[in-house]
Every structure is written in C-alpha cells, then in structure tokens.
Amino acid sequence: MIIKAFLFDLDGVLTDTSELHFLAWKRLAEEEGILFTREDNEALRGVSRRESLNLLLKGRQVSEEQAYEMMERKNGYYVELVRQMTPANLLPGAREMIEEIRHLGLKQAIVSSSKNAWLVLERLQIGELFDAVIDGNARARSKPHPDLFILAAQAVGVPLQNCLVVEDAQAGVEAAHAAGMKALGLGPRERVGAAELVFPSLESHTAREVLAFFEKL
Ligand code: BG6
Ligand code: MG
C-alpha cells in the first residue's frame, strides 16, 4: 500500500485530552450524585459527547432537555480546561512526525469526533500544518462509522486506499477499516490490536518508518 495521506485523530494521538474530559465529566457526575471513576472514563475514549453522557448516566433516565443541559455544562468545564493548554501539551513525537510528513510533501488531516478540535489545535499551535480538519461539527455519523474519514480523504483529494489512519481508540480503528483504510494504532493491543501496525505512542518513531512498513502490505 502506498500512503499519500495521513489522517490523524486528535484526542489521545497528538495530545492527551482524555484527562481533561475526565475532570469535566467527573465534575458533572459529582453535581448529579453519580459515581464516575477513571476506569469508567476509559470507555469514553473516542466516543461522541452524547454517547459519553449515556455511558455516564448508567441507565438513569433523563429528558432530552436535561441531557442537552448536562452536555453543555460538561462542555463548559472542558473548554475552561482546554483554554489552559499550551504547545507543551503536544504528546512526545507528535510535532516531529507532523513536521516530517509536511516535509515529505504528503497530505495530512485531522479527523476528530470533537466539536472542540479547532480550539485544541489553536492551543497547540499546529492548525496550519494540516491540509484539512474534519471534526464533530461535520454533518456525519461519528466513529465507528467511516463517514469522517471518507470526508477527510475527499478534502485532501486522496483515494481512500491511499490514506493511513492514526488512532488511539478501538472505534477509530473500526471506522478506518469501514472506510477501506489501514490504521496505525497507538496504545495497548487490547485497545488498538485490530490496527495493521501498533506503537505504544508516536515517541521515537518516524513517518519514513511507517511508510516503509505499509509499502510491504
Ligand atoms: C473525541 C474524544 O475525540 O471527541 C471523546 O476522544 C469526546 O472523548 C469526543 O467525547 C467528543 O468531544 P467534544 O469535545 O465534542 O465533547
Ligand atoms: Mg482519540
């Protein structure tokens, strides 16, 4: 397979916002008298805001209005935390890899389920390194559906089979495969083992090494 574009998930791949999501959901849970632990938070990785709320509520019934209000409240807490982020919040190896891809003249896009993706990119000061940003504001089904990745391939003008997805969530790897793309998984095999190549993180890895691996597939 020849890679012509890298499609990067954002949260958990280029920066670790999962702790900030956790703190914001925990604050909401405490206000609502719901127990919410770090382990509970793991199930929310890569999952949409609405689905995250459903998991947090653990079967507790709420009206649509209440659900909307809770999501808004949590998002307010989350945005407050994101505003404190700086470029130092980029994960090790992230900047090196995206600069290398840019240097090689390949396309790259951000493909995130988050409606806050642009805010996070601004805080990290890396927005201008990407050819396209497809986020949770796109009118599309979220991961594990392939829609966001297909939109990104169209946006960068690269055929689906020449796009490589970089993901930290199981739902993201599933979405890549559903789009007919291959994936580089970041994190434990229990989570991203379905990806064709798995690294613990981007640290100490190069884009050239990834290109060479996928060329043989
Ligand atoms: C994903 C995160 O990128 O975006 C999830 O991994 C999050 O944890 C989802 O729930 C939606 O994010 P937001 O910022 O729109 O609430
Ligand atoms: Mg992610």
- pLDDT, position 128: 97
The answer to whether domain 5-16+89-215 has CATH 3.40.50.1000 is yes
All CATH 1.10.150.240 domain ranges of the chain, comma separated, are: 18-82
The pTM score is 0.96
Q: Which atom of ligand 1 is nearest to the CA of 52?
A: 10
All CATH 3.40.50.1000 domain ranges of the chain, comma separated, are: 5-16+89-215
Please confirm, yes or no, whether 40 is among the known catalytic residues: no
- pLDDT, position 77: 98
Which of 45, 113, 115 best tests ligand 1's pocket when mutated (most atoms within 8 Å of CB)? 113
Q: How far is the CA of 190 from the centre of ligand 1 (A)?
A: 21
Residue nearest to atom 6 of ligand 1 (CA): 46
- pLDDT, position 68: 98
Residue nearest to atom 12 of ligand 1 (CA): 114
Q: Residues lining ligand 2 (ion), CB within 5 A? A: 9, 11-12, 46, 168-169
**Is the CB of residue 23 less than 8 Å from the CB of residue 77?**
yes
- pLDDT, position 122: 98
Nearest alpha-carbon partner for 45 in 117, 139, 143: 143
Distance separating alpha carbons of residues 101 and 109, to the nearest angstrom:
11
Superfamily of segment(s) 18-82: Putative phosphatase; domain 2 (1.10.150.240)
DSSP-based three-state secondary structure for 181: coil
Please confirm, yes or no, whether 9 is among the known catalytic residues: yes
**Is the CB of residue 202 less than 8 Å from the CB of residue 8?**
no
- pLDDT, position 34: 97
Q: Which atom of ligand 1 is nearest to the CA of 112?
A: 3
Residues with CB under 6 A from ligand 1: 11-12, 21, 44-49, 52, 75, 112-116, 136
DSSP-based three-state secondary structure for 14: coil
Residues of the chain under the 50 pLDDT cut:
none
Q: Give the number of residues written for the chain.
A: 217
Q: Give 78-93 pLDDT, tens digit per residue.
A: 999 999 999 999 999 9
